[in-house]
Each structure stands twice: as structure tokens, then as C-alpha cells.
Chains A and B, each alone.
Chain A
């Protein structure tokens, strides 16, 4: 795992109420399925932490355990200095935004937003005031008398957010809050969410399977696969310095190109590939990885290895070239003006900083550099 754990804290303004959230050795099984395995996380006060992983990786279960909706089998959860592992959700002082929004259909927008205060016995007048404030923060103050069924998806999302922020909780928990919105609205709400969290400075844990959301929203990203934390770091860190094969193959769109082969005598060898390495003493099955945007298509023989063009697709902002080399298929992003004939023989080149090597057996990183001929 990567050693770097400091957040890009400079742009964070922790609110007065913001609290640290610590998770120690958290475990959860459903029957024979071990969904969360020995999870350890420290979320700084006011930090925006994203739990990222494919569906079924245990990220939502982890969030639900923090919320208190699921009981932990073992381990502990602390919010601030309080151990909340075995207490009811209502004593945890966390607010959750559900994927489904979970608005109360028989209550108006105002009553939905004010519900957390109502059950706490806040007086009518103070409540109305707080509801107006919270609604104004999400630009819903003109729709207070509507019912959820009369709102659009984005508006329902805002109501759910307002209901979460109205009582200034110690932490926000968000379970894929944007996944039910259409693509355009999702981008807009993402920016708004980021801004709002920054303004409020409340510790936030956000669950998503969408790496764009993770990259853009997070101070730090925790990547989880099969219940195990794979890497915890800043978005820049997990993208630019993947700790293992899973992270490398998961992040990026398209993800990192992976070429399976073996390291022998300080050389990475695969079908049609033979690249000298430096700074390592590993030998055995290995995988070479490089990002589509880090590589260039060059003339045959001019790169690190040669391949055959399978397709070239103009996506608008760039040309995505797919190259086949033996069994392996790789994507390379080229400028939008680039054009190449299908089936032509080309070379692939990238710098020594841009190639990553992994142990194919364990998936772990091998600290080695590609010696790139210039």
C-alpha cells in the first residue's frame, strides 16, 4: 500500500463542528460472504473522503456500518472521541443521503427538510427559520410547499441534501447520491456538492463506483475491492501512482493498458516486447502498465515495441487508437488531428516515468523503471 496519506488539506476549511472519523479493523459478513475485511480508515475533520470500488465491493456496507444501519461483526468506529460502534443511528449525529433520496412522499418539501428537527422537538418557529436557511442553500426556497412527486430528479436530490445539512451533523454520509441523475445534471450537481461541502466544512464520506466523481470530489480516495482497502491517497496519488494492479486497471477511462509478460535478466519480455529495466531485482511473471494518455503512436521501430492498428476513433477532443500486439490490446490517446490507417504497423512510445510494473501473481507494484530509448 502507498505510504503517502496526507490530504491536500490546503483547500479545506474545517467547520467548527467537523469531527474526525476513525475506523479500526472493521469486519462484516453476510452469511458466508465476507463483505468488509479489516477496514482501517482515518478521516480528518472536514475532509471529503470517497470510497470507490466496483459494485459489490463492500463500500456501501462500510458506509451503512458507519451510519449504524448495519451492525459490525468486529472492529470499532469512532466519531470525534465517541465510540459509536454499538449505538443506534440516531445517537451518532450523522446525516445520510441515500441513492434513492428517501424523501417522505406524504410530506411537503418543507416538512421533509424539517423532519430531523421535528423529531428532536425543535419549536415550530425556529424550525421554519432553519428550513428556509437550508432550502436557500440548495436553491429550493421557492418550492417549499411542493410534494416530492411534483419535483424533478435534481430537485429531489437538493431536498435530500437540505435535509442532511439542516442539523449540522458531525459527518455526512452519501451513498451514490448522483447516480440517479442524467449525465448533464450529474456534472452540475457534482460541482455544487463539492462547493457546498467546502462551504460547510463537514466531514464527508461519499460512496461511488464512478471514478470521475471520486477524482473530482475527493480530498482522498479509498479504493476498495472485494472488501479489502486497496489504496488510500489523494486523487492525484491513486491515479498517478497506483499501488497495485487492481487500482491501475480500475482508474482511468479507458483504464491503464496492461501487458502481461515476465521479467528476466533485468528485461521485461512479452510477445513482441523486450524492454530493458533499471532499479529492480525482480524475476518472474510481471505486468507492464501505461496510461493511454501517456503514450504516443510513432512509426514502426521507433518506439518501445511495435503493434498493429486495430481501430482509430475520433471522440471529438482526441483520437483513440486501439493497437493489437499479439494477445494484448491497448488504447492510446492521440491529438484529434491524428489519423492512421487500420492494420498499419506502428510503434508505441512512452517515457521511463510513465511505465509501471506489477507482480502478476500478487498484483503488487514492482519498483522498477523502463529504460526508454529516446
Chain B
């Protein structure tokens, strides 16, 4: 087959005309049609549930039970019935859950990002070489202290103090014997390994722990749990961001006379804005949507929005589709707003021009 036709132009069959791009970086009409068809299909697939939730929230129970109808004013008459029920008649329960969700998401995210990013910075810039033996010794002496408290009813303060003293002297005596040490990479891996376990594995121990300190069904219990659960993700992500900042910048700041804290505040933090924003968003969304842990840790006072949504499913009146839709909509709104605000910071090219010509 010749590449050129009789007039000296490249030969163009129907298929080439449809699927060969007119220039590099442009799309052929045929490919364009296929790609857009797939995208429209996918968009409908993704957007339909949201549309469904939106119209369902304006339906009367009778409209829902009548079967699938989708067009307001045509198939059914929109009504504020469900909205009124949740925000005027039953407003206490709804607002309480909403308020709980906001407080828990904000506090746990703040706590977690604060502690996590400091830990990540330390891991990124300071070399740790703790001895494995010392760590095991510490864990061992603490375990012994708890056994003594549990079996012999010794005062826990005394027990812990004795255990700490024993640990201190043993560690000093045995320091030279311990050969194996762990490094930053091991610490990081150990942290992320905490996320490999499914939450269901730890949920019962966590429940019993908070039960024994009488913190069940409080915001504090959920905030602490979420912070700890999210910490590995924050450390892992922020470690990556911090190590991508050229060390020259920090060394230069130190030579310019800055302290470590000043360097962190003036140089490192502004340069990791994008990372912090992305991490915050991720952690916030997790806290906002989390269901399983909240289900175990709250019964009524500390109930969050996901629990409220699930509750619409289990009442004696059957599934309250209309109320559930209202709650889902008010739950989506803050997340969308957050994403809009934070995506401004998630811009690329922040480090451009730092080093190299």
C-alpha cells in the first residue's frame, strides 16, 4: 500500500480520516466522539445518585412509595415536608448530630495535622537510631507495671513510677549490649503498618478502653480515636512533602541566623502549604464520613451525621428515604465548600526557582 495517493498527498481512507489526528496534540473526530460518549455516560452514572437524593428530599412519602418518578412538577409536586420535619419539628436531634460532626471533624483534623506534621518533619530532618532492645525493654516494663496493677491491686502511680525507674537503670546498664537499632525508615513503616489493619479489628479494644475511663459517647473519645487513626496518613504524606523541600534552603536559613523553629515557620511551613492543604482535606473528609468507629463510640449524645443517616434506615417506620436525603445533602455541602477553599492552595510550582538556574 502506498503512503501517498496520486495527487502526492498522504492516502486517507475513511478510517484514517475519522481516527487520525489532524496534528499532534489534537483529537480526531472519531476518537472525540467515542471519548465524549464514554465521559457523558460516566458523568450520568456519577451524578444521577446526587440528583436522586436532591429530588427525593423534596418528595412526600407518598411520592416515594408510588415508584420511581424523577421530574419535579411533572411527576410529583415538590414539598418541603422532609426539610420541615428535620429542621423545625425534630431540629434538636439533627442539629446536635451536625454540631457533633463539625466539632469532631475540625478538632481531630487540627490535632492530627499539627502532631503529624511535626512528627513528619522530625523524621524527615533528624536521624534517629534508637536501639531495638531499649524499646522492647520499655514496652516490657510498662506491661509488667500494668500486670502488677491488675493482679495485685497496687496503686497505678506507684507501679508506673517503679517500672520507669527499673527501665531507666536497666537501659543504662544494658546500653552497650544492644546492637540492633531502628532507623527513620523503620519508624515510618511501623506507623503506616497501623493502617493495614481493618478498623473492625481494633474497634472492640478501643470500645473497652474508653468504657474503662468512662468516656464512651463523648466527643473527646471520638476526636482522640480519629486523630490516632489518621496520624499515620498525615505523617506519611507530610514526610514526603518535607523531604521534597531542598535541604539547602533550611541550611541557608540556619546560616542566616534562624533557629530551628524560625526555619520551620518561615521556610518549611510556607513551602508545604500545598501538602498541608491536601493532607488536611483528606483527613477532614475521613473524619466527616467515618461510620464504624463512631457507631461503637457513640450512642446518643456524641452521635455524628453518618450515624444519623444510618438511623433513618432502621426506624420502626421503615426506611425514611426523604429524611435520609435531606441529611445527606446537608452532609455533602461542607465537604464541597472545604474542597473549594483548600484546592486554591493545592497548586503546583510552589518550589519553582528555589534552586538551580
Contact = CB atoms under 8 A, between A and B. Distances in A.
B351 A105 contact: yes
Nearest to A118: B266
Interface in B230-255: 246, 248-249, 251-255
B357 A103 contact: no
Contact of A106 (B256, B257, B258, B350): B350
A100 B355 contact: yes
Given A90-B259, A102-B248, A106-B271, A149 B254 contact: no
A202 to B, nearest CB: 15
Contact of A149 (B253, B255, B258, B353): B353
Contacts of A263: none
A274 B254 CA distance: 60
B270 interface: yes
Interface of B: 246, 248-249, 251-259, 262, 266-267, 270-271, 349-357
Interface in A91-105: 92, 94-96, 98, 100-105
Contacts of A88: 254
B354 A148 contact: yes
The secondary structure that dominates the A interface is loop
Given A69-B251, A98-B248, A119-B262, A104 B257 contact: no
Given A100-B248, A104-B249, A106-B350, A156 B357 contact: yes
A162 to B, nearest CB: 12
Contact of A90 (B258, B271, B356): B258
Contact of B354 (A95, A105, A120, A153): A105
15 contacts: A89-B251, A90-B254, A90-B258, A96-B252, A98-B248, A100-B248, A102-B252, A103-B354, A103-B355, A105-B354, A115-B253, A149-B353, A152-B357, A156-B353, A163-B256
A103 B353 contact: yes
Contact of B255 (A95, A100, A181): A95
A216 interface: no
Given A67-B255, A69-B254, A90-B255, A181 B357 contact: yes
A149 B252 contact: no
Contacts of B357: 152-153, 156-157, 180-181
Contact of A147 (B255, B257, B266, B353): B353
Contacts of A101: 355-356
B257 A120 contact: yes
Interface of A: 67-69, 88-90, 92, 94-96, 98, 100-106, 115-116, 119-120, 147-153, 156-157, 163, 167, 180-181
B254 A105 contact: no
Contacts of B251: 67, 69, 89, 96, 98, 102
A148 B252 contact: no
Contacts of B355: 98, 100-103
A101 B258 CA distance: 17
Contacts of B350: 105-106
Contacts of B248: 98, 100, 102
A68 B246 CA distance: 18
Given A101-B356, A115-B256, A116-B257, 19 more contacts: A67-B251, A68-B254, A89-B254, A90-B257, A92-B255, A95-B255, A96-B251, A96-B255, A98-B355, A100-B248, A102-B252, A105-B351, A105-B353, A106-B271, A115-B258, A147-B353, A149-B349, A156-B357, A163-B256
A94 B354 CA distance: 21
Contact of B246 (A94, A95, A100, A180): A100
A89 B252 CA distance: 10
Nearest to B252: A102
Contacts of B257: 90, 116, 119-120, 167
Interface centre among A105, A148, A180 (most CB of B within 10 A): A105
B356 to A, nearest CB: 6
Instruction: List 6 A-B pairs, minimum CB-CB distance, nearest first.
Output: A149-B353, A153-B357, A100-B355, A148-B353, A102-B252, A102-B248
A329 B156 CA distance: 84
Contacts of A94: 255
A69 B251 CA distance: 7
Contacts of A104: 249, 252-253, 266-267, 354
Given A104-B249, A104-B267, A69 B255 contact: yes
